């Protein structure tokens, strides 16, 4: 933490089984899940990493307002920052709205998406996302019981719910 804090880039390191479990594309193309997912040896060590660019092109291109005529969008605009803004639409929205919220130079996150991981943009992209997507509307002052609703608004489902619930409990014990 502190001045060296940075955002984090989303990893697409998935096994073929995981790709099949969440991706309609890979369920329709199971041999490509085998081709693109990581492989582990008998001891559980990864011996071949997942092809993250292929996963971005095949699964994520169809999501998050990525441009269908730009096959790199799914990989290039994967989640970054403190809240993991994801997709061309969000990167473009953050850049377009930036000067309405802050008075310094607008970061060109379309040309240099990794800027979203750098301060102050990692925090500002999270603030922008929270306010522009009205995430607060899923908070009904029910504490822990609101974690599921907020997760659905942020993620569109319940992926990562257990980790968020655990993090909420930890924060609750520290801040409340």
- Tell me the pLDDT band of 102, cut-offs 50, 70 and 90: very high
Per-residue pLDDT averaged across 165-173, rounded? 87
CA distance 20 to 62: 16
Torsion on CA atoms 103, 104, 105, 110, rounded to nearest 10: -70
The C-alpha atoms of residue 88 and residue 75 are separated, in whole angstroms, by 10
Whether residue 2 has pLDDT greater than 70? no
What tokens were used for 164?
A: 């968020």
**CA–CA distance from 14 to each of 25, 34, 67, 95 (Å)?**
14, 10, 23, 30
pTM given for the model: 0.84
Burial class (CB within 10 angstroms; exposed 0-12, middle 13-18, buried 19+) of 31: exposed
| C-alpha span between 128 and 171 (Å, rounded) | 22
The alpha-carbon radius of gyration of the chain (Å, integer) is 18
142-164 pLDDT per residue, tens? 777 878 888 887 776 677 788 88
Please, what is the average pLDDT of the chain? 91
- Cα torsion angle, 129, 113, 9, 104, sign: negative
Q: What is the pLDDT of residues 119-133, one digit of tens each?
A: 999 999 999 999 998
Q: Which residues of 62-100 are buried (b: 16+ CB within 10 A; e: fewer)?
A: eebebeeeeeebbbbbbbbbbbbbbbbbbbebbbeebee
Can you tell me the mean pLDDT for 161-172? 86
Q: Which of 43, 46, 147 is nearest to 18 (CA)?
A: 46
Q: How much is the pLDDT for 3?
A: 66
pLDDT digits (tens, 9 = 90+) for 37-92: 999 999 999 999 999 999 999 999 988 899 999 999 999 999 999 988 999 999 99
* pLDDT at residue 176, rounded to an integer: 72
Q: What is the pLDDT of residue 14?
A: 97
Phi, psi angles (nearest 5°) of residue 90: -75, -40
């Amino acid at each position: 933490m502190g001045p060296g804090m940075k955002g984090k880039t989303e990893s697409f390191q998935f096994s073929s089984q995981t790709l099949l479990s969440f991706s309609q594309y890979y369920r329709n193309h199971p041999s490509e899940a085998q081709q693109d997912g990581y492989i582990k040896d008998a001891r559980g060590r990864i011996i071949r990493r997942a092809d993250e660019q292929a996963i971005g092109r095949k699964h994520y291109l169809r999501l998050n307002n990525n441009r269908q005529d730009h096959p790199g969008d799914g990989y290039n605009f994967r989640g970054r920052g403190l809240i993991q803004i994801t997709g061309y639409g969000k990167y473009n929205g953050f850049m377009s709205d930036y000067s309405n919220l802050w008075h310094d130079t607008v970061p060109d996150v379309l040309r240099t998406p990794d800027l979203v991981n750098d301060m102050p943009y990692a925090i500002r992209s999270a603030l922008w996302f929270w306010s522009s997507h009205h995430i607060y509307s899923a908070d009904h002052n029910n504490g822990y019981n609101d974690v599921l609703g907020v997760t659905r608004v942020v993620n569109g489902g319940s992926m990562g719910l257990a980790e968020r619930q655990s993090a909420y409990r930890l924060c609750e014990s520290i801040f409340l």
